[in-house]
């Protein structure tokens, strides 16, 4: 908080911290009041006195029950509680309209005078973007890649490989004789019949490129958080909306 002519002026982040508790208190008290006015018993009272028909008649004591709950009192209490909530929220929202800060990365202003509500939006989007970038496809590190302008993608150098075909061959284990035919064993030999020249292409990204983008996302995330903290340090102007609202409603 900062002092202004002896007055303590809260900052936006302090109002945001207070708002949650005020909301919880208001909700609890409104719920309690709602249940209270649904019970007709505490709202009712009675007073009655007995008078016998003659002097010899039985004397009975007077009976009375006081009203325990007054709806008008509940309205007053609720107005008081909700007025606080309306004022705190109004102070936050009014200040949100003027709370701004620059998003700066390494001395470079990415966005100037950004509203705090938009900074919150950026924070959430950058979390999703970080997840997306981490999952980007990366070129296979086992290959050597060069840029190919004709296909606007990456390619490997040509690799030549043989195309082979199995050709049967005969191996004579024993020559033929007058009494026995030749003993021949058939086996297969791989013979080169041609050549493949292979070039691989890829639309993935180099790991270095992905890491550079990730670093930038993280740097921007940090800058946005700093900017939000700066914007949330904006001094507030106390707004008094609740009294007018409930003065009209319950007045």
Q: DSSP for 1-15?
A: -EEETTEEE-BHHHH
Which residues lie across from 46 on neighbouring strands?
65
Q: Per-residue pLDDT tens for 220-249? A: 999 999 999 999 999 998 999 999 999 999
Give the pLDDT score at 43: 74
Q: Of residues 109 and 45, which shows the higher confidence score?
A: 109
Cα-Cα-Cα-Cα dihedral of 214, 218, 223, 224, to 10°? 100
Q: Is residue 1 over pLDDT 50? A: no
Q: Are 234 and 11 spatial neighbours (Cβ–Cβ below 8 Å)?
A: yes
> pLDDT tens digits, residue range 30-88?
998 888 878 877 778 888 888 888 888 888 888 888 877 788 888 998 999 999 999 99
Once rounded to an integer, what is the mean pLDDT over residues 159-180? 84
Alpha-carbon gap, residue 91 to 88, rounded angstroms: 5
**pLDDT for res 96:** 93
Residue 135 pLDDT > 80, yes or no?
yes
**Which pTM does this prediction carry?**
0.70
Could you tell me the pLDDT band of residue 6, with boundaries at 50, 70 and 90? Answer: low
Token pair belonging to 184: 């021949």
Average pLDDT of span 195-222: 96
Dig out the tokens for 4 from the structure.
């202004």
> 136 pLDDT band (50/70/90 cuts)?
very high
Number of Cβ within 10 Å of residue 208's Cβ equals: 10
Say which range, 43-52, 98-107, 139-148, has the weakest mean pLDDT: 43-52
**What is the percent of the chain where pLDDT is above 90?**
65
Asked if 154 and 148 touch (Cβ cutoff 8 Å), the reply is yes
Domain-by-domain residue ranges, the chain?
9-99+242-251, 158-198
Q: How many residues does the chain have?
A: 251
Query: Is residue 179 over pLDDT 80?
Result: no
pLDDT of 7 reads: 58
If pLDDT is split at 50, 70 and 90, which confidence band does 93 have?
very high
- pLDDT above 60 for 3: no
């Amino acid at each position: 908080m900062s002092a202004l002519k002896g007055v303590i002026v809260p900052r936006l982040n302090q109002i945001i911290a207070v708002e949650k508790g005020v909301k919880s208190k208001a909700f609890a008290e409104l719920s309690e009041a709602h249940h209270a006015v649904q019970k007709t018993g505490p709202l009712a009272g009675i007073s009655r006195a007995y008078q016998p028909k003659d002097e010899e008649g039985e004397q009975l004591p007077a009976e009375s029950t006081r009203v325990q709950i007054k709806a008008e009192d509940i309205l007053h209490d609720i107005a008081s509680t909700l007025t606080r909530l309306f004022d705190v929220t109004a102070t936050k929202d009014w200040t949100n309209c003027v709370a701004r800060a620059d998003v700066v990365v390494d001395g470079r202003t990415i966005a100037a005078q950004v509203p705090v509500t938009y900074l919150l939006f950026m924070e959430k989007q950058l979390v999703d973007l970080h997840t997306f970038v981490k999952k980007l496809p990366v070129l296979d590190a086992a290959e050597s890649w060069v840029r190919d302008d004709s296909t606007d993608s990456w390619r490997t150098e040509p690799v030549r490989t043989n195309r082979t075909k199995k050709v049967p061959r005969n191996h004579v284990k024993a020559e033929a004789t007058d009494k026995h035919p030749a003993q021949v064993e058939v086996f297969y030999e791989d013979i080169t019949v041609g050549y493949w020249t292979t070039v691989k292409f890829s639309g993935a990204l180099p790991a270095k490129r992905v890491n550079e983008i990730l670093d930038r996302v993280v740097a921007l995330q940090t800058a946005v958080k700093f900017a939000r903290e700066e914007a949330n340090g904006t001094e507030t102007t106390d707004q008094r909306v609740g009294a007018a609202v409930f003065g009209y409603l319950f007045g």
